[in-house]
């Protein structure tokens, strides 16, 4: 979990990354699905910066209120959404892992 925390924390303010990137970036790569399951157990990281590969706020599947919180947090950081409610591609970051 330490590596997961470090990766999530490395996503800069005002940017997002995907669960898939997160999973692939681990020393022992896992699926984005599994990375998302692990993320659900960690609450001391900027979790709102991790979204689906299409920009979808996938936490809505678990709890719609979390998606509202996530969108507010991202908008506060300057992240824009398109008319379908997806994070715009220009805000994705796939930095060095």
Task: Assign domain 2-91 to a CATH class.
Answer: mainly alpha
Q: What is the mean pLDDT of residues 67-82?
A: 98
The ranges assigned to domains in the chain are 2-91
Stated pTM of the model:
0.93
Give pLDDT tens digits for 27-54: 999 999 999 999 888 888 999 999 999 9
18, β-bridge pairs: 51
Q: What is the mean pLDDT of the chain?
A: 94
Above 50 in pLDDT, residue 97? no
b/e 37-58 (16+ beta carbons within 10 angstroms → b): ebbeeeeebbbbbbbbeebbbb
Which three-class secondary structure state does DSSP give residue 6? Answer: helix
Q: What is the mean pLDDT of residues 65-80?
A: 97
Q: What is the predicted pLDDT for the residue at 95?
A: 82
């Amino acid at each position: 979990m330490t590596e997961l925390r470090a990766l999530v924390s490395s996503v800069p303010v005002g940017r997002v990354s995907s669960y898939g990137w997160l999973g692939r970036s681990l020393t022992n790569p896992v699926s984005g699905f599994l990375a998302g399951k692990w993320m659900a157990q960690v609450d001391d990281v900027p979790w709102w910066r991790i979204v689906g590969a299409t920009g979808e706020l996938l936490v809505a599947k678990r709890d719609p209120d979390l998606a509202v919180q996530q969108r507010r947090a991202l908008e506060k950081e300057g992240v824009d959404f398109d008319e379908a409610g997806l994070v715009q591609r220009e805000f994705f970051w796939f930095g060095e892992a």
